[in-house]
Amino acid sequence: MVPSASPPEQADAAEPAPLSAAFLATVSHGPGVYLMLGKRQVLYVGKARDLRKRLSQYAHFAGPAYSKTAVMLSHVQRVETILTTTEKEALILEASLIKQHRPRYNVILRDDKNYPLIKVTVRDPWPRVTVTRKRLRDGNRYFGPYASTTAMRATLQLLHGQFPLRRCATVRERPRPCLNYQMGRCLAPCAGKVQPEVYQAMVRDVLLILEGKTGEVVRELTARMEQAATNLAFEQAAALRDQIQALTRTIEHQAVAAEHHLDQDVFGIHRQDAAVGIALLFVRGGMITGAQSFFLADPLGEDDSLLAQTILQYYSSERQPPREVLLPFAVEDQDLLTERLAELREGPVAIVSPQRGKRMQLMRMAAANAAQVLEERTKKEHSWDALAASLQARLRLINRPERIECLDISNLLGKQAVGSLVCFVHGEKAANLYRHYRIRSQDTPDDYAMMREVLERRISKGVEEDNLPDMLLLDGGKGQLQVAVDVLGRFDCLERIDLVAIAKEKADEGEKLFRPGRKNPVLLPAHAPTLLYLMRIRDEAHRFGITFHRKLRGKAQLRSRLDAIEGIGPKRKRLLLQALGSVKRITEATVGELAAIPGIGPELARQIHGQLRGEDGRAAG
């Protein structure tokens, strides 16, 4: 792959310069990827079978000035291209670069987490049921993903309650079984309490249930119950009856999607003006096991291109596609996409656009879910509009508070001090914009000095990158507010950022809000939505800071005693911890135990023993 770029001297020329005729003449007619770059970031990543032809289309774009493509092109200052050997390489590289750069005008999936799967370790002599987030090619059985962890836990509870397979990670022979056996939660294969064929029959029942064939299991259990009753084994018959009742209740709540037992992912898409909603239904073994949705505020491209980008971003080696993917229409480069999905699955994948039958019912359901995404988004935006207007009016803010950042300082007598900054955009958490600041200038308790340091670092970078919040919320009172006023004044940002401090000065008093230039605090009713929202942001900053502070404090406590010993570096410290397990155990060890550790020796053992015992105020002998 060979990267190229528009000549640097053209970047400051007139608007057409990034896609000038001179630059286009240097672009290959082969397949590859192109990157549209702005002043500081990648704006858009695309692929093409013929790079020069595709970029020429941008150069001669004649659409309306308000269109998304025209707006994007107006910000482009430079274009880079990367040649690939094949179109498929370009497809894969495009997806990789989008995930790396997260360009503003590409489809970005905000929810990229892996949902949990249920794993049955059928390769083990005594299989067990576990939860995992990775689907491996290891010969075991995987079921899911479960978008609803509640549904997954309910399934696990049913399986563990009615089919007591082992739960321990390994099976070790032991003279007597553990407590799980006494509680009826395990068959105790470790103690030889169950025959392999009985255990495997139970595993088969579990697999049938996870495959959606619960009715088959119920019929088999019913026959066994009747046989037990005929043999006058009434306790066994009663136990089987309870299993049947539990499974029957489960069947009543299962949503049957099809008569087959295929695994399918069903995509639906709905457009409303510039916004697009995409919904994904998970069908496993003919049952709908969950759903996931994505909101694309103003994506660049037609629906077939957007859906193709979504699919390519969504699936990976860790989140493999099922055997069948249902789409409402054919998508861009569908043959290449099918080939790529088959590679990820390591097996055949069919992309189908159904026109009738049960599959079409699933498509209509996915489309309805996609429309619901936009409807819920609209309601959320209206709710935020009302809350933002209330905040601006009640606190007399200069700016509409679309982006609110909150700063909190956490320390213990000045030690392991950290500043935590959380960010809320349009009323929602923006976790990717959260930041921790290690305090550099202070190791004594001085909250004002610590806050000043963090504010100076945040505001200076924000001014440099033109990346400042509309409102800055401080956890504190008038003192913290005055520090912020001083810092923002030095950077000439008092008119750009609204400052608010929130504090509870006395235990029996409610929250008080302080604003610059106002002597008395702003007092809001205890249940006012605006106050509750600000308290939520403050509490999130406190949680974020305390978590990191405790982590630093724990590391310091673990390291401090060993790091203070002369003659102990990282390698020997690691040897000591590997051999004895903890600092406490190292401190309690005798000279002989320390000397027996490879790499320590008698002389160093005496030094370690003496220094550690001396720290504790005990004799070194």
Q: Name the nearest CA neighbour of 545 among 402, 399, 426, 447.
A: 447
Give the whole-angstrom CA distance, residue 398 versus residue 472.
12
Tokens read off for 393: 């009016």
pLDDT at 507: 59
CA atoms within 13 A on the CB side of 258: 20
Give CA torsion, residues 317, 322, 326, 327, to 10 deg.
0
Tokens read off for 407: 């700063």
pLDDT at 617: 38
Q: Name the nearest CA neighbour of 454 among 415, 422, 421.
A: 421
Give the whole-angstrom CA distance, residue 545 versus residue 408.
7
pLDDT at 308: 92
Q: Which residue has the tokens 């790079």?
A: 51
User: For residue 157, what are the contacts with CB-CB under 8 A and spacing of at least 6?
Assistant: none
Q: Determine the Cα angle at 482 with ends 453 and 411, to 5°.
A: 45
Domains and CATH numbers, the chain: 3-101 (3.40.1440.10), 117-253 (no CATH), 264-374 (3.30.420.10), 403-550 (3.30.420.340), 564-615 (1.10.150.20)
Q: Name the nearest CA neighbour of 203 among 187, 190, 215, 191.
A: 187
pLDDT at 439: 78
pLDDT at 553: 55
Phi and psi at residue 33, in whole multiples of 5°?
-125, 145
Q: Is residue 31 within 8 Å of 83, Cβ to Cβ?
A: yes
Q: What 3-state DSSP class applies to 554?
A: helix
Q: Is residue 299 within 8 Å of 275, Cβ to Cβ?
A: no
Per-10-residue mean pLDDT of the chain, 621 residues long, equals: 48 60 90 90 91 91 82 90 91 89 83 74 89 82 75 76 81 79 83 87 84 75 84 82 72 52 88 88 78 84 90 85 92 91 90 88 90 88 91 92 90 64 91 84 72 91 90 90 92 92 74 89 89 92 76 54 70 78 79 83 83 53 35
pLDDT at 32: 93
Give the whole-angstrom CA distance, residue 192 versus residue 178.
12
Give CA torsion, residues 303, 304, 305, 310, to 10 deg.
80
Residue 393, classified by CB atoms within 10 Å of its CB into exposed (0-12), middle (13-18) or buried (19+), is: exposed
DSSP for residue 431: G
- pLDDT tens for each residue of 562-603: 666 776 777 777 777 777 777 778 888 888 888 888 878 888
pLDDT at 414: 44
pLDDT at 556: 53
pLDDT at 402: 93
- pLDDT tens for each residue of 148-181: 677 677 778 777 877 888 888 777 777 888 888 8
First to last CA, the chain: 68
Tokens read off for 603: 């002389």
Q: Name the nearest CA neighbour of 362 among 258, 261, 466.
A: 258
